[in-house]
Structure 1
Amino acid sequence: MTKSNRFNHLKSNTLTKTTVASSVPAQAKSTAPLRSLKQMGWNGFFQQQLITESLDYAYVARVSAHHRSQYQLLTESGETSLAIHQAMPEMTVGDWVLVDEQHNFVSLLERSALFSRKAAGSKVEQQLIAANLDWVFIVSSLNDDFNVNRIERYLALVNEAKVTPVIVLTKVDLCDDLSPFIEALRELDANLLIETVNGLDSESTTALSSYCSEGKTVAFIGSSGVGKSTLVNAMLGDSSQLTSAIRQDDSKGRHTTTSRSLHITASGGLLLDTPGMRELQLADCEEGLNETFADLVEYAQQCKFIDCQHEQEPGCAVQAAIEAGLLTERRLQSFQKLMREQALNGASIAEKRAKGKSLSKMYKRVQGNARANKRG
């Protein structure tokens, strides 16, 4: 079989399953049942990119885990790995890549969705969380962990990524009254998708399975100890993810997941568990915030002055809505705080990138001058 023939099946629009020999090299480990690209989340968006490619020597793989020195990849014949090199673009779990038969990186396919945040702490850089998602489960416990302000942060990031969020409230067996939690979420968005579950009860988690149909990718995000890994285990039907009990004194959770990884369910869905996020800073997500606070933004557009700060200006529709009980002061303060934060962090990251590009140009110029001097 020629190299051209080995790649032709990827350029077809049928997305049919091919033989192992025609799509991946022999080095791939068959550690899991063979699955087609479609079952791994492949669709027309990615297929169209291959149609415009002139490559005839590469195969398609999906990043299933990110380790310090390598990416774990899913292929049609099983799992394989890709060593990380400095010249490669930054990638994350869920990405689709092209790799040649010698396990060399060829290219990163354009993403249909990218979920990211500002790196925790004082680092001035963006941290990629996951790519090419269909749903994001924002998981929160029905205890002291429940925090509306934090959920708004998650919603802003998910909306910025153009992925549909689902609020998953866990530990329903420990909650005597759901109504205050549901009402608090409905104040954020009356159309929010909300599911309440007990991760230890398989019947309770069946509602989540409908989101995880064949080829659909679902990411779990939330604080430590809210039950993400327990839900992953329930939906996978095994104990592949470790779990830990919460601290009884303050209902705070313990880290049990330490890295992001994809897991395939028996029904063909793909689950992505993420480590608990103790710190979630926003950057460059103004559009996501506007969507998350769509009700407030709509009132702001009715203000008398375009540059209204929604404080004591005459004709402020936002303050009028607050006085009428249509908005809360908390929601306005949260919106203003998050807008300032994302703008400041976004500017810092952009400045660092600009400095990096400037330094790179200087290094190339110095190297060029050195080579020219050597040639005399």
Structure 2
Amino acid sequence: ARPPITRSSTGFEIDYKENGVVVRIGTDRSFLPGEMSLTNRYDWLHIDLYKARVNAALVKSAPLKKPVREVKVTEFDELCSIGLRLSRKPISKRIYQDASTGDVVVTLQYKEALSEEETQEVRNEQVADNNPDIHDQLEAERSRWLIDTVVIDPGHGGKDPGAIGYDKLREKDVVLSIGLMLGEMIQKKLPGINLIYTRRDDTFVELRRRTQIANENNGKVFISIHANANKNSGARGFETYLLGAEKGDQARNVAERENAVIKFEDSQNQTHYKGINTILATMATSAFMRQSEHLASSVQNGMADRIRTLDMKNRGVKQAPFWVMVGASMPCVLVETGFITNKSEARILKSSENQERIANGIFSGLTRFKEDYENAI
């Protein structure tokens, strides 16, 4: 088991001084040279502790004041990282283990003069060496969590047309076009991203095969794109779903319609879908629920911003048990881009110009999520 670094309720403190900030992490072990490091990523300063763990609740309960705006904890297999979001960069920074107390100490200097107390702390320090091997291991551990592969899943396809809307507009055609446009934006504006499609043409892909494709390609984000439908032709708006128990009849109806694609699969494959309890059990054990919530919120906000002139109702973020997201080992969302059964929205969804706006909204949300997620690791 990885040794804990927080030893008691007083094991994490942020001391705001006149000339800077001192962070103290109570420990019950010694750290070898190179097992402690400080890394800057955008406006975040990361305190990286190799082969260690922290009490996340204790860290997050620390009082915040300028220049510390936010504190986050991220744990990897071999690394614990405490992230401090700073309002401004310090003049200097250092990390060491106090010889007298065993505390891991981080000092951030914002003025030239050091106080007597800080000067004494420096005398007691055991400075962490710049060990390139340890640094490489830390970077390798962090790189595993960077969002470097995005999976785009245009819903339905082939023998499954999806919803048939106003003027015989087919869901499978609309969402494929939006998905391909989204992919083009990612390739152009985020060239380092590995892009995976579950389909790039009018092909039928089984529900469970879609997340298998995502997992086989080590996807870091899964975005399933759909168009909504309702017997009430007045229903309108766009919404983003994450995997979960439905809350209300509307969410249940959407999930039942999207899950109905099972009828197009071979009878042998249909035995894999054992009912709602399987979905909920998978959801409950998912390690990516919180990230999926953040992704869904970012995408919904991005859509709202980019298509605000189209008079489409913002129906918000919801959750429902969609089979297409079951088994995805990554943050995943399902985007309902509008109601294909609504005359006005069907015309919007049919327009290439508006499809591009919708794709741009999803892209904006993905970009925001990527920045927030990577800044915190």
TM-score (norm 1): 0.30
TM-score, with structure 2 as normaliser: 0.30
Q: Which has the higher contact order (CA 8 A, sep 6+)?
A: 2
